[in-house]
Amino acid sequence: MEDERVEVAGVEVSTWHAIGGRRVGSEATFEVRSPADWEHRLASVARGDAATAAQAVDAATVAFPGWAALSAGQRATHLHRLADVIDAEVERIAAVECLDMGMRHESLVERVVPRGAANLRNYADLAAAHEERVWSSKGTRNRVIRMPAGPAVIITPWNAPWMLATWKLAPALAAGNTVILKPAEWSPLSASLLADLAERAGLPPGVLNVVQGIGEEVGAALVADRRVRRISFTGSPEAARSIGATAAHNIVPFTAELGGKGPLMVFADADLDAAAAKAAGQYDDSGQVCLAGTRLLVERSVAEPFLERFHAAADAHVLGDPHDPATTVTPVIHPEHLERIAGFVDRARAEGHEILRGGHLHEGGGLFYAPTLIAPRDNDAEIVQREVFGPVLTFQTFEDEAEAIALANSTEYGLSAIVYTGSQARAERVGRAVRAGTVWVNTFLVRDLTAPFGGCGISGIGREGGDFALEFHADLKTLQILEGSTD
Ligand code: NAD
């Protein structure tokens, strides 16, 4: 047999790995179900092992010299072709991702899937436009050359499979590296589709390989392979510690985009309606968003009117099927994750923190947790300090700007922050004082693909986005030639 395919939302998706331009199976499999309909098994997917990992790194290693030897402009042509294929397949990709991950269909079609193509175009053009730095000093002519580094392993989490795969893939390929992509085992199908699209776009075999399976199994084996020259990881700090240890052992550059516990700070001079609407909007997608502002920090003098507005906005949420455009709160990814969310809230209740809203499974059944707001008794509480990754927010008040900043910076995380204020001076002051990779003022989730992106503290190592990711995927070389010594 050469491949095994299942029909998902009317789209044929391979359940096998994509290695070196071929589909490859595994004896063992793992099951994939739809969060929106848990009784419905979508697929049994090949469960890769150490041998699968070695085979994929073989393919990426063989393909590397040819891909690296192309000019950035030639690689750009390939990436634009892949972007064209993606643009033509938005509906089908969205249909698969919606069933597999449970993300809202409308936002997939309008924003998430097209952004994958935009990313490829962005990096194709950025790499092709790159000019090498050349200068004279000490009688030599100096030139900085970006050398492609080698095969890169890309590991993605379950919450934004398509968006993160394409976000990480684009700079790696544009820089001249070949890729082995390992998507998360709870939502692996759009990565498989991506391999098909890459083949259709004429990407040379072995340039993009997709390996399916469990993180601790095939993921760990990929990371441990000494032929791998870059590791780009997005997921939890726990997995990053293990991957980082292996990367350190093999002396391989490693970026980690990890969890968050972002503050959403509301000052008395803010537009309270906008702030409360955005705060309630943190329940969107059941809060399975690393960048979410999950700690509401509100100036004491406006706490009451803020809460009134917040509850009104939260009451308007619609928990439902991700296909329904009216849905704002989608099902959570997996029963195990639902249990994890419930565990956080149950422990918070047992510790005596006040549940202001929700605090229970959704009465209507399905994989839903009721949007929850908790007023902690103290800032050291687990519910304040640890990422829940669900529709659970905390509510705390502050007296002045200094206290707001101290609270904002009081966790080990530092991925993102949201600030609501009507004062430009305060926006500058607070924006600079908060330790986070991204701070949004009076807005949220607006992203420029060329801006650096990443986290401080346990939210990550390194930056992706724009030139930052291209630099990561290259080995820089300084070439010095004695002036006057050559014609
Ligand atoms: P996870 O760490 O459990 O898994 C992420 C990926 O790593 C999966 O593909 C998994 O199979 C793999 N993996 C796990 N252990 C591994 C190991 N030892 N070796 C190699 N691979 C391994 O995370 P998750 O539960 O899938 O995702 C949720 C987390 O991701 C949250 O913390 C969330 O905040 C974070 N996240 C961060 C960003 C960001 O940009 N900073 C974006 C999305 C999600």
Per-residue model confidence as pLDDT tens for the chain (487 residues): 789 999 999 999 999 999 999 999 999 999 999 999 999 899 999 999 999 999 999 999 999 999 999 999 999 999 999 999 999 999 999 999 999 999 999 999 999 999 999 999 999 999 999 999 999 999 999 999 999 999 999 999 999 999 999 999 999 999 999 999 999 999 999 999 999 999 999 999 999 999 999 999 999 999 999 999 999 999 999 999 999 999 999 999 999 999 999 999 999 999 999 999 999 999 999 999 999 999 999 999 999 999 999 999 999 999 999 999 999 999 999 999 999 999 999 999 999 999 999 999 998 889 999 999 999 999 999 999 999 999 999 999 999 999 999 999 999 999 999 999 999 999 999 999 999 999 999 999 998 888 999 999 999 999 999 899 999 999 999 999 999 999 9
Q: How far is the CA of 383 from the centre of ligand 1 (A)?
A: 20
The pLDDT score that the predictor gives to residue 233 is: 98
Sorted by where each starts, the structural domains of the chain and their CATH numbers stand as: 5-258+455-479 (3.40.605.10), 262-441 (3.40.309.10)
**143 three-class SS:** strand
Instruction: Give the separation between CA 40 and CA 370, rounded to whole angstroms.
Output: 23
Instruction: Give the separation between CA 5 and CA 310, rounded to whole angstroms.
Output: 46
By DSSP bridging, strand 22-24 and strand 29-34 are unpaired
Using one digit for the tens of pLDDT, what is the confidence trace for 343-395?
A: 999 999 999 999 999 999 998 889 999 999 999 999 999 999 999 999 999 99
Using one digit for the tens of pLDDT, what is the confidence trace for 407-462?
A: 999 999 999 999 999 999 999 999 999 999 999 999 999 988 889 999 999 999 99
Cα atoms found within 13 Å of the Cα of residue 115, Cβ hemisphere only? 19
Q: How far is the CA of 233 from the centre of ligand 1 (A)?
A: 7
Atom of ligand 1 at shortest range from CA of 337? 25
Closest residue by Cα to residue 259 from 287, 296, 224:
287
pLDDT averaged over every residue in the chain: 97
The pLDDT score that the predictor gives to residue 278 is: 98
CB burial of 88-109 (b: ≥16 within 10 Å; e: otherwise) equals ebbebbbbbbbbbbbbbbbbbb
Q: Which residues pair with 247 in a beta bridge?
A: none
- Residues with a catalytic annotation lie at 257, 290
Instruction: Give the separation between CA 396 and CA 414, rounded to whole angstroms.
Output: 18
Q: How far is the CA of 127 from the centre of ligand 1 (A)?
A: 28
Whole-angstrom CA distances from 100 to 56, 180, 452 are 24, 21, 29
Chain centroid offset of residue 205 CA: 26
Is the distance from CB of 77 to CB of 128 less than 8 angstroms? no
Cβ of 401: how many Cβ atoms within 10 Å?
Answer: 17
Instruction: Give the separation between CA 483 and CA 487, rounded to whole angstroms.
Output: 10
Instruction: Give the separation between CA 7 and CA 241, rounded to whole angstroms.
Output: 37
Residue located nearest, by CA, to atom 26 of ligand 1 = 157
Atom of ligand 1 at shortest range from CA of 242? 18
Using one digit for the tens of pLDDT, what is the confidence trace for 325-357?
A: 999 999 999 999 999 999 999 999 999 999 999
Please give the full DSSP string across 349-411, using - where no structure is assigned.
Answer: HHTT-EEEE--SB-TT-SS-B--EEEE-SSTTSHHHHS---SSEEEEEEESSHHHHHHHHT-S
- Which are the contacts of 11, defined by CB distance < 8 A and separation ≥ 6? 92, 95, 96, 193
Q: Ligand 1: residues within 6 Å at CB?
A: 155-160, 182, 184-185, 215-216, 219-220, 223, 234-236, 239, 242-243, 257-260, 290, 387, 389, 415, 455, 460
Q: How far is the CA of 235 from the centre of ligand 1 (A)?
A: 2
For a mutational test of ligand 1's pocket, the pick from 155, 180, 389, 447, i.e. the residue with the most ligand atoms closer than 8 A to its C-beta, is 155
Q: How far is the CA of 79 from the centre of ligand 1 (A)?
A: 26
Cβ of 226: how many Cβ atoms within 10 Å?
Answer: 10
